[in-house]
Each structure stands twice: as structure tokens, then as C-alpha cells.
Structure 1
Amino acid sequence: MSSIENTTSATASSDVTDATPADTTEWDGTNLAGDVVANGIRKNKPEYHEDLFWFYRYSGEKKMSQVESATLLGVDGGTYSKVLRGEYKNAAGLILPPPAKMVSRIRVIREQEREDAEKRIKGRVMTPTVGEIHAVCRKVWNDRTIGFVFGESHVGKTEGLKWFRDENNHGATIYVDLQGVAGVQDIFRTFARALRISPNVSPTKLRPRVLAAIDQTNLVIVDEFHHITYAYQKGGAIKMVNALKEIKDRTGCAMVICSTNVGREEFDEGKGHEAKLLKQLWRRGTIKLQLPDALRVGDVRAFAIAYGLDFPAAPEQADDTWKNLNANHPNFLGLKVSERIAYEAGVKHLVCVFQDGNIIAGKKRRELRWDDVIAAQAKYDALSARKAV
């Protein structure tokens, strides 16, 4: 064992252990809390930040304990804890680089995960809507500003945002879902869970810990924003919007705010002090993406092609709209079912119908056809039809 490892192991018994209670300030479950790790990693040399942040997020997604994380990286629990807390020092008290084998294994795991992610992404379909959402996220992140994404439910907003998070989740992209929030304390608890900080502490302690765990390198994706602007009393909305503004201002992070059109109506048509507050937030947004009220032709085309179905190409000198598709290809077999799903159901239902159509085609031992898709939709229609008694 090297002198460095001897130095760090000598005090391992005084470190917190894997059995440390979850409600202590430095712990979340059986691993270190997000704000503690964020501060600790920043004490290391910059060239190690990305790898260490990535592995911490990775271990959280896999629900790994400190012992499991350390074992995977080939180091003992004390060394793992010290590196992530910025306390891996020599006898003179100087911070040492993480053990070489620890860094090497992280990089190997990252490469393996990258390859696995490419395989997973192949199961996703890049649509015009997803492409626009990703472009907004990249622009906002690069400029460290605020961006907005608005659109009706079921047009692919959340899927697009989560896809971006999955491709950029090396400790820098933080996804926060505001469904169910009822007050400013819920805002910070929701952020705490996303940051792997225990939410079971007093609000006065939780707020600074959340702020400490985010910095200017982060992109914060705030989904379901309309739950603040519409679903709850406006007195609480003021405090919740101010909480988001504080997180943005105090940390310097980039922020993408996503909402249904209900939320946009509050920005455009709201009155009183609440509306003024929202308009302040609105004016700070450099990019405002408004999505169509239904699935675009291009979105449905992308899914159809991914499932091996024929679909008319986009017109070269006209808009790619349902109106033009009807005019130019009135005999296209998949036209009516595609347009109906686009306007009445949305992307998840479209995928379900394609998958069910695949099952029908599989029973006939052939490739998927539009008549299989039509048959699959007919089954859903039969289920939802009113029945005589």
C-alpha cells in the first residue's frame, strides 16, 4: 500500500460510515448528500470535477450506497467519502488528486454508459418537437439564462426534456417536476430530492443547502410550471415564483421552464401583483418556444418511419401541415387515424397504437401495416364507446 493510501486510511475509522443515519446533515439514505458532495468536489482540481459529479449522479440513479460505490471504484469507503467531500489530503493537509484507479474506473464506466445510452436512444424517436426542445436547452445552457417551453399536454414536452437530461446527466442537468407542489417549502423539497439532499430537515436549513448544491455549470429544467401559476392560490404562487427566481439569481444556473398553455395564459393575461411578478420572469427569458396545439405532421412521420410504416415526405415548397397533407395525399391510408390521434390523443397514445399494431402484425407473421394501426385504434374506440344496458 502506498504512503498516500496509508495516510488516508489511517483516519478512516473516524469518518462517517455506511450505517450513518439518513437524517444527519451530510447524508442522504446511505450515501453522501448532494450539497456536501457539490462543495467537496469543487475543492478538487477542475480536471476531476466532471468525472466525479457524473459518478455521484450515476450512483444515485442506481441507488448505490457508499460501500457499493466505493467497491465498484476499487477503493475503500473512507477514501471514497474523503474524495467526494474534498477531504482526501496528505500529511501536510494538502488536497490530493483522487486515486488513479478510482478515476480510471469512473471513466471506463462512463464510456460503457455512453454506449448503453446510444442503444437506449435508438429506441427513442427524434421528432421536430424534440429537436426544438433540445435546441432551447442547449442555447439556454450556453448562455446561462432562462428559457420557456409552452405547449398543450401530450405533445412530447416532458419526454423531450427528460431525453436531454439523460444525454447530459453528468452532474450538470437537474430535472425538477413541480407536480403536487403547494407552497415554497415544497419547491425546495422537490429540488432537494432532485439533488439527492434529504428533504426531511427544517426549511431554514434546507434552503441554503439547495442553493449550495447548484452553480453556474448547472442547467435546471423546471417541468410542470403551470402547477404554480394556475392550480394554487396566488399568494402562494408569488412565493414559489420568487423561490425559483432566487435559485436562478443566487446560483447563476441556466434554467428552462416548461408549462402547458395554461401557464402561458397567466403570463399573457394575468392581472394584479402576481401577473407583474410573472412578467418580470417572462422578460428575463431569452428564448420562448411555443409548441403547436397538436402533434405535428413531422412528429407523426418520424414515429411512422421508425416503426417501418410508409408516410408521405414533407413538401418542398409548402408548409408541412395536416391541411396540406390532406390536400396533397387524400388517399394515404394512414391519414385519418394519424390526424385524429395527433389532435385528440397525443404522442403516448400514438406509440401505444403503433405497438399494438405491431402485435397484430406479428400474429399474422408480417411487417406492420397501416391497416394494423387502424385495427389497433378500433380496439381503443370500442373500449371507450358508450354501451347499452
Structure 2
Amino acid sequence: MAAQDTTSTGADAGQEPVTGRVAETVSASWSVSLDDLRTNLTHEKNKPEDIENFVWCYLYCTDSAHPMRREEFARKIAVVDHTTILKLIRGTYRHPETGERMPIPEKLGRALTMFRQLETDRARNLRPAISRTPTLARIWTACDLARESQSPVFLIGPSHIGKTVGLTSYRDDHDHGMTCYARLRAASGLGGMIKEIALAIGGIGMKGNTATLIESIKRRLKPNMLLILDEVHELMYTYRKESFFACLEVIREIYDACGCGLLLCGTSLLMKRVRENRGELEQLLRRGVHKVILPSQPTKEDLTVILGDYNLHFPEKGYTCAVRFGTKDISDTPYEILRQVGSEDGLKAITERLRYGLKFARKDNARLKWEHVVRAHLTIKQNEIPGDDW
């Protein structure tokens, strides 16, 4: 099966998670923290597997990647109404006459198991295939280092080299709820950053102020968890110069309180800024012993793996393709296309040419060839030229 790139593969991989008001509404509909949920479900009448599946479904529904209100979840499983679920998560599900606590109903236990299995299978089937490139391996190694050492790890690389999809694929391939991924955003300030982290962790009420959320995050994160913060360099683009340092200092404070694995991902601007301001950021920098630096552009080894997933060999330097483009016969060199596009625009620009080339191959009812990729490249370049007014 042809694998996609390690940056983004369109609607399936590149969607932004739902955040803000929608996610806060979802969290409010469940109206219980993860710690309280575990406490309320833990009693001798509930089966351990039912508790585990209930917690999994709760984390799934409060995840900002696919938020689902309690009422919607009840409609999906269609075995109990949302008020029964509310009583269970609050620990008030009792016999109407005796007042004795009742266990999770068997039909609900079966429905929780089925929901978890279906959503796990669906995510696995919808997830675009990821080419197992050397760069992807380095990204996963950085995550492993952070988890194993329970310390901050800096992952540094240029845009469009595969960082984000590498990190999200690591999260998806590890225990749900134990690896948390948050994409940080420009001009959001400390409050915005904390909300993104709280939403990524899940199970945290969003009604409190920033200080309250910080304390909730500290309680929710455990030493065996991994917190991935992507696009950390975006925190520099703010209205207040001091905001960037305040954000990193709070990240350091959260880490010190939890002792969990922490991965800080960004471009070279992040490391440059941190090293230029060692005084303000000394504590975080000294804690981050591991620093994984990715290549400045897609490597030949990466592209060899990706091209192999498309059943293409890495082209020789002198190999030339001749294609009919419009009314002209044009020759181009695939090796130079890969070198130039990778250097100027990154991995996504290359894999988009492969994807686009597949469309031409299907029209020809043929397997993908370099001629199709060259035609895709010429089409993309042609679209960059503005049309004449006359």
C-alpha cells in the first residue's frame, strides 16, 4: 500500500483539533474530572474491564480531536440514556427503593466494549499510512527518550520535515490518555497555551481561570505520562515580549510538579531563542539533557523509503523524463525535482507531487511512473504563474 508523507496527508491527517468553546461545552457536559470519575466508578460491584472501558470512552469523548457530548455518546451506544451515564460518573447510580449503589449495567458494559473496539478500528483504518523513514524514527526516539527519562526533550527541525505527523502518530500508537499532544498557537499567550494543554490532557473542567487550570494540569499529569508540546516556537509570536518567557517558565513549573516525560518541539528559532536567553530559561534548558536535531531538509534515505512505498526507485542523477505538457514536449530530471523542491519547500511539497501524480496515473489506467510525477510537478509550477488579463 502506498504510504503518505510524514507531514500531512490531507483531510484525514491534517485536520485541526476542535478547541475553544466547543471543547469547553463538551467538557461541561461530562461535569466530572478524571480523578473523580475513577473514584466514583471504583467499587466492588463494578468489573475492572467495565471501569477501564468507561474511562477510555470518557477520555475519547473529552479529547479535543473528536469531542462528543455525554448526550451524543448516549445516543451512539443506544442502551441507556444520558442521565444514567451522569449518575454513574457521579457515583449516584443507586437502587430506587433500597438506595444501594448499583453496578454498571451489563448491557452498558457490552456497549462500552463495542464502542471502544469500533472507534479503535475506525481510527486505525482511517489513519493514513506513515512511511517509516529514518526521520520518523528519530522523532519517535525523541518521544521514547522523554518518556523513559521523565525529563524534557527538545525536538528541533524545520517546517514540513514531518514533525507533527510523526508526533501525532506516536501518540496514536501508544496508550490512549497516557500520551498527550498539544499544538500551541501564536498570539495565544499564557492563558491560551494552558487551555490547549488542558484540552489535550482531557478530563479537566474548563471553567476555572488560568491559575486553576494550571493546578488541575499538575494533578492530572502523572510520572508515567508523556506530554508533547508541538510548535513551541509559535509562543514567541505574541503581543507581549515577556509572554514567551512566562509560558516556558510555567511549562517548567508543571514539569517540576509532575515529573512526567515532556517533549518540546519547534523550529531552530526555538533553540536559538532559548540559548540567547539562558538567564531566563536556564532551569528548563538544564533539565533538557536530550536535544534531537532533525535534518534541514528531506534526506535521500527518507525519500528512498517514501518512493518505495509508491513503488518508485530513487532516480539516478542523469535520468530524464519526457512528457507532453499542453502543446509542448518537455523533459525534466526527477532527481533535480526532488533536490530542489525538498530544499525549498520541504517534504510535503514532494509527497503532494506523488499524490497528484497518482491522479494522472489513474487517468492513464497505469501504475505510477516518473512521467506522472513530472507532469504533476509541471502542473503545480504552472499554477503559480498568474494568467494574463487579455
Whether the 8 Å CA contact 1:57–1:169 is kept in 2: the answer is: no
Figure out how many residues of one structure are paired with residues of the other and give that number: 345
**Compared with structure 1, are the counterparts of its residues 364 and 72 closer, same or farther at alpha carbon in structure 2 (3 Å cutoff)?**
closer
Task: Indicate the residue corresponding to 2:293 in structure 1.
Answer: 290
Measure the CA separation in 1 of the matches of 2:255 and 2:55.
20
Q: Judge conservation of contact 1:54–1:170 (CA < 8 Å) in 2.
A: yes
1:55 alignment partner AA: C
Mapped partners of 1:152, 1:213: distance in 2: 32
CA distance in 1, matches of 2:103, 2:133: 43
Instruction: Give distance in 1, aligned partners of 2:258 and 2:274.
Output: 24
Which residue of the partner structure matches residue 31 of structure 1?
Answer: 29
For 2:157, the equivalent position in structure 1 comes to 151
Structure 1 unmatched runs, 5+:
1-21, 313-328
Confirm whether residue 224 of structure 1 aligns to residue 231 of structure 2: yes
Contact 2:34 2:203 survives alignment (8 Å) = no
Q: Which residue number corresponds to residue 69 of structure 2? A: 65
Q: Report the counterpart of residue 362 of structure 2 in structure 1.
A: 362
1:352 aligns with 2:352: yes
Match for residue 260 of structure 1 among 245, 258, 267: 267
More deviation in 361-370 or 201-210? 201-210
Structure 2 contact 353–376 (Cα < 8 Å) conserved:
yes
Residue 244 of structure 2 corresponds to which residue in structure 1? 237
CA 1:130–1:286: 2 relative to 1, 3 Å? same
Cα 1:147–1:32 shift into 2, 3 Å: same
Distance 2:148 2:36 in 1: 23
Give the whole-Å Cα distance in 2 for the aligned partners of 1:248 and 1:85: 30
Q: In the aligned structure 2, how far is the partner of 1:303 from the partner of 1:95? A: 56
What's the CA shift for 1:235? 1.8
Q: Any conservation in 2 of the 1:39–1:213 contact (CA below 8 Å)? A: no
**Aligned equivalent of 2:85:** 80
Q: Superposition pairs for residues 48-197 of structure 1, below 5 Å?
A: 50-60=52-62, 61-73=65-77, 74-85=79-90, 98-121=104-127, 123-168=129-174, 170-194=176-200, 195=202, 197=204
Alignment partner, residue 11 of structure 1: none
Tell me: CA distance 1:72–1:309, structure 2 relative to 1, closer, same or farther (3 Å). Answer: same
CA distance in 1, matches of 2:91, 2:25: 15
Give TM-score, length-normalised by structure 1: 0.77
1:330 aligns with 2:334: no
Change in Cα spacing, 1:157 to 1:232, as seen in structure 2 (3 Å) is farther
Q: Secondary structure at the match of 1:222?
A: strand
Distance in 2 of aligned mates of 1:279 and 1:213: 26
SS in 2 for 1:75: coil
1:304 to 301, 304, 307: 307
1:299-318 alpha-carbon deviations (Å, 9 max, x no partner): 22222122222226xxxxxx
Q: RMSD value over aligned CA atoms?
A: 3.2
Q: 1:263-283: CA deviations, max 9, x gaps?
A: 011233x14xxx223232122
TM-superposed CA distance for 1:361, in Å, is 1.7
Which residue among 24, 37, 41 is the counterpart of 1:40?
37
3-state SS of 1:310 partner: coil
Where does residue 343 of structure 1 map in the other structure? 343
Contact 1:221-1:257 within 8 A present in 2 as well = yes
Query: What do residues 211-241 of structure 1 show as CA deviations (whole Å, max 9, x unaligned)?
Result: 3333334321101111234656442222111
Unmatched segments (≥5 aa) in structure 2: 1-19, 43-47, 321-333
